[in-house]
Amino acid sequence: MSRVLWAGWLSLMLLPTTGAMAAAGSWVASAPAVRVAVPGRQYVSAPLGASEPERLAGRRIVSVRWHYRVAQGQAVRAWLCQDSFCMRVPGRQGGNRMDVPLDAASPWQFRFELPPGERQAVLVQGLGLIVNYH
């Protein structure tokens, strides 16, 4: 997704809510690039979390949106994890509604590995996450 589209989408996500949805909110985080180099080994990003997690006590995640970049022609296998919960990330960008009650205050991490048969190192950049909660 281009930066302009991402910024526009993000601004819509951050608009204030009213009425019954007033308790809902979202947070956005990014992480530095990760170099994925050795087949069969998982590489973990820096944590992505809310800037003020103490304000999210008791809040539950409704959905997450993610994005990352790799050079054209390169690929990685990816997961998003919070504590012991991990979900497969099927593409470089996307989203998922959460059916599992997860804490909105807990940080996430991306996990990456080279696809089977791949031997060339891959630099994964532009790691971003949006967490929507109630």
pLDDT bucket at 12, cuts 50 / 70 / 90:
very low
* Domain total of the chain: 1
Contact 24, 132 (CB under 8 A): yes
Residue with token string 């809310």: 50
Distance of CA 84 to the CA centre of its chain: 15
Alpha carbon of residue 98 to chain centroid: 13
Whether the per-residue pLDDT at 116 is higher than 80: the answer is yes
The CATH number that applies at residue 57 is 2.60.120.260
Quick: pLDDT tens for 98-107: 989 999 999 9
**Structural domain boundaries enclosing 77:** 3-133
Residue written as token pair 């791949």: 118
DSSP readout, 76-134?
-EEEEEETTEEEEE-SSEEEEE--S--BTTS-BEEEEEPPTT--S-EEEEEEEEEEEE-
Whole-number pLDDT of residue 23:
64
pLDDT, tens digit, 9 for 90 and up, residues 15-73? 444 334 446 899 999 999 999 999 999 999 999 999 999 999 899 999 999 999 999 99
In whole angstroms, give the CA distance from residue 31 to residue 22: 29
pTM of the entire predicted model: 0.80
The answer to whether the beta carbons of residues 1 and 66 sit under 8 Å apart is no
pLDDT (0 to 100) of residue 2: 47
Looking at the DSSP bridge assignments, the partners of residue 123 are 35
